[in-house]
C-alpha cells in the first residue's frame, strides 16, 4: 500500500472544486480506500448543517469519479470551526496501488486504516459500552492497516453525541449526552485499544471527571450527524511503501510553541534562527488538538476562555492558529479543541506528516 496526502482548499463547506481536481489524479480502480479529514467554517450550533452540506457534496464528487463502490471505500471525518488564522480546507488521504509498492520492504512509511462500528442505541451512547465499541473499532482499523499498537502514531475518533436519550429508552434516564462527554468516552476507548487505559478504570463516573486518565495518541471529535463510531488511524508501518511518515508530539498548553518545534525537529525538519520551519515544503499535514485547563488559566494567569460568551473551543482554535502559523508559515492547519482525556488538563497533542528527507 502507498499512502498519499493532499491538502485542498474550499470556498465554502459545499465547495469540492479543488478536491475534485486532486482526486482526478488517481485512477478509481487503483484506489484501495479514501479518507477525508475536513475543517469547515461552521459554527457548531445545533442548527449548523455545514458538516452535512460538506458530506453531501464530497459524496457526490467521489461518486462522480468512481461510482458507489468508491464511496463505500471512503471515510469522512468533518470538523467545524476555523476561527483565527485558519483556512477552511481538507486533507485527502488516498491509498493506491502504484509503482512504489515494488520498493516496499525497506524501513517504514505512512499507512492509514479506517473502520466504522455498527449503529449505537441511544442507551449505549455515553456509557462504558460505548467506550468498548470505540476500542473494538480502533482494533478493526489497526487490522485493516496491518499494524500493531506500537506502530500507531495517532488515532482519530469520530463519536456520536445526542441531545438527550429518548423517553422510549426504558429504564435509562432522559440524560443529556454532551459533546465533551462523548469525546471523553471516545478518548478512553481509544486508550483502551492502545493499551494506555485499563478496562477497569473505564466507568461511568470517570468520564470528563477523572482527568488522571487519558489516551496519549488520540484526537476525538463528536457529532450529531452520525450514530456510529468512525475511526481513522495513522501509523508508520514496517515495510510500507511511500515517501511519507507521521510523527507526534505533546503540547504543554495553547502557548507551547516549543512543543510544536520539537515535533517538527523530531520529524526531521529544520528550524531556522527565527524559530520557523525552514523546509516547510516537506510538511504535507499538521494536526493539533489543543485544550484549556479546567480553571481557564494559562500558565497560572486568568483568561476569559471559560468565562466568555464565546465557546471555549473558539478561543483555543484562534490562539493555536496564530502559534502554529508563526512557526509553519501557513494557515492550512487542522486544529481542534477540547482535549478531555486526550492529554493532561490544559495540555494537548500535535502530529505532522512529512516527506522523508533524502
C-alpha separations of 317 from 26, 99, 232, 284 in Å: 33, 40, 22, 20
Has residue 174 got a pLDDT over 50? Answer: no
pLDDT at res. 106 = 72
Has residue 101 got a pLDDT over 90? Answer: no
Q: Where are the alpha helices (DSSP H) in 73-178?
A: 128-145
Q: Which residues of 197-233 are buried (b: 16+ CB within 10 A; e: fewer)?
A: beeeebeeebbbeebebbbbbbbbbbbbebbebbbbb
Has residue 83 got a pLDDT over 50? Answer: yes
Q: Which domains does the chain have, with CATH numbers?
A: 2-103 (3.30.1330.170), 109-234 (3.30.1330.180), 244-355 (3.30.1330.160)
Of 171 and 72, which is predicted with more confidence? 72
Of 45 and 220, which is predicted with more confidence? 220
Instruction: Give the integer Cα–Cα distance in Å for 72 and 74.
Output: 5
Asked if 187 and 218 count as a contact pair (C-beta separation under 8 A), the reply is: yes
The grid cell for 283 is 510538511
Residues 6+ positions from 27 with CB-CB distance below 8 Å:
none
Q: How confident is the model at residue 357 (pLDDT cuts 50, 70, 90)?
A: confident
pLDDT at res. 47 = 79
pLDDT at res. 48 = 85
pLDDT at res. 97 = 86
By percentage, how much of the chain surpasses pLDDT 70? 93
pTM for this predicted structure: 0.92
Of 358 and 76, which is predicted with more confidence? 76
Has residue 309 got a pLDDT over 60? Answer: yes
The SS3 call for residue 37 is strand
Tell me how far the alpha carbon of residue 14 is from its chain's centroid.
20
Residues 6+ positions from 74 with CB-CB distance below 8 Å:
33, 34, 35, 36, 59, 62
Has residue 175 got a pLDDT over 70? Answer: no
Instruction: Give the integer Cα–Cα distance in Å for 51 and 160.
Output: 14
The grid cell for 199 is 478496562
pLDDT at res. 277 = 98
Tell me how far the alpha carbon of residue 265 is from its chain's centroid.
22
Radius of gyration of the chain (CA): 19
Instruction: Give the integer Cα–Cα distance in Å for 44 and 178.
Output: 13
Asked if 343 and 251 count as a contact pair (C-beta separation under 8 A), the reply is: yes
Instruction: Give the integer Cα–Cα distance in Å for 329 and 322.
Output: 10
pLDDT at res. 253 = 96
Name the residue among 40, 34, 35 with its Cα closest to residue 79.
40
Residues 6+ positions from 29 with CB-CB distance below 8 Å:
none
194-214: average pLDDT:
96
Task: Output the CA angle 254-256-262, nearest 5 degrees.
Answer: 140
Q: Which residues of 48-76 are buried (b: 16+ CB within 10 A; e: fewer)?
A: bebbbbbbebbeebbeebbeeebbebbbb
What is the tens place of the pLDDT at every residue in 180-199? 899 999 999 999 999 999 99
pLDDT at res. 321 = 97
43-65: average pLDDT:
91
Instruction: Give the integer Cα–Cα distance in Å for 111 and 142.
Output: 10
pLDDT at res. 4 = 96
Q: Which residues of 251-285 are buried (b: 16+ CB within 10 A; e: fewer)?
A: bbbbebeebbbbbbeebebebeeeeebeebebbbb
Task: Output the CA angle 1-151-263, nearest 5 degrees.
Answer: 105
Residues 6+ positions from 168 with CB-CB distance below 8 Å:
none
pLDDT at res. 220 = 96
Separation of first and last alpha carbons in the chain: 21
The grid cell for 202 is 473505564
Has residue 104 got a pLDDT over 70? Answer: no
What is the tens place of the pLDDT at every residue in 11-27? 999 999 999 999 999 99
Amino acid at each position: 500500500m502507498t499512502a498519499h496526502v493532499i491538502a485542498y482548499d474550499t470556498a465554502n463547506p459545499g465547495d469540492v472544486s479543488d478536491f475534485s481536481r486532486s482526486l482526478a489524479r488517481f485512477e478509481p480502480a487503483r484506489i484501495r480506500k479514501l479518507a477525508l479529514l475536513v475543517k469547515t467554517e461552521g459554527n457548531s450550533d445545533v442548527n449548523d448543517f455545514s458538516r452535512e452540506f460538506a458530506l453531501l457534496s464530497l459524496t457526490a464528487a467521489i461518486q462522480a469519479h468512481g461510482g458507489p463502490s468508491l464511496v463505500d471505500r471512503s471515510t469522512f471525518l468533518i470538523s467545524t470551526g476555523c476561527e483565527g488564522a485558519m483556512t477552511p480546507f481538507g486533507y485527502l488521504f488516498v491509498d493506491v496501488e502504484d509503482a512504489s509498492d515494488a520498493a516496499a520492504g525497506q524501513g517504514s512509511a505512512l499507512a492509514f486504516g479506517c473502520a466504522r462500528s455498527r449503529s449505537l442505541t441511544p442507551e449505549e451512547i455515553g456509557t462504558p459500552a460505548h467506550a468498548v465499541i470505540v476500542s473494538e473499532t480502533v482494533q478493526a482499523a489497526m487490522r485493516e492497516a496491518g499494524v500493531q499498537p506500537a506502530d500507531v502514531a495517532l488515532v482519530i475518533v469520530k463519536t456520536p453525541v445526542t441531545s438527550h436519550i429518548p423517553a422510549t429508552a426504558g429504564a435509562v434516564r432522559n440524560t443529556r449526552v454532551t459533546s465533551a462527554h462523548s469525546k471523553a468516552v471516545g478518548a478512553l476507548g481509544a486508550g483502551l485499544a492502545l493499551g494506555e487505559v485499563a478496562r477497569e478504570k473505564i466507568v461511568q463516573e470517570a468520564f470528563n471527571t477523572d482527568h488522571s486518565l487519558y489516551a496519549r495518541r488520540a484526537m476525538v471529535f463528536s457529532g450529531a450527524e452520525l450514530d456510529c463510531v468512525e475511526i481513522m488511524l495513522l501509523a508508520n508501518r514496517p515495510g510500507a511503501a511511500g515517501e511519507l511518515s507521521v510523527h507526534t508530539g505533546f503540547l504543554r498548553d495553547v502557548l507551547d510553541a516549543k512543543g510544536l518545534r520539537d515535533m517538527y525537529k523530531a520529524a526531521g525538519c529544520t528550524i531556522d534562527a527565527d524559530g520557523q520551519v525552514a523546509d516547510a515544503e516537506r510538511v504535507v499535514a499538521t494536526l493539533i488538538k489543543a485544550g484549556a485547563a479546567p480553571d481557564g488559566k494559562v500558565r497560572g494567569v486568568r483568561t476569559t476562555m471559560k468565562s466568555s460568551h464565546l465557546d471555549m473551543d473558539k478561543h483555543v482554535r484562534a490562539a493555536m492558529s496564530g502559534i502554529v502559523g508563526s512557526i509553519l508559515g501557513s494557515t492550512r492547519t487542522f486544529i481542534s479543541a477540547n482535549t478531555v482525556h486526550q492529554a493532561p488538563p490544559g495540555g494537548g497533542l500535535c502530529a505532522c506528516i512529512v516527506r522523508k528527507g533524502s
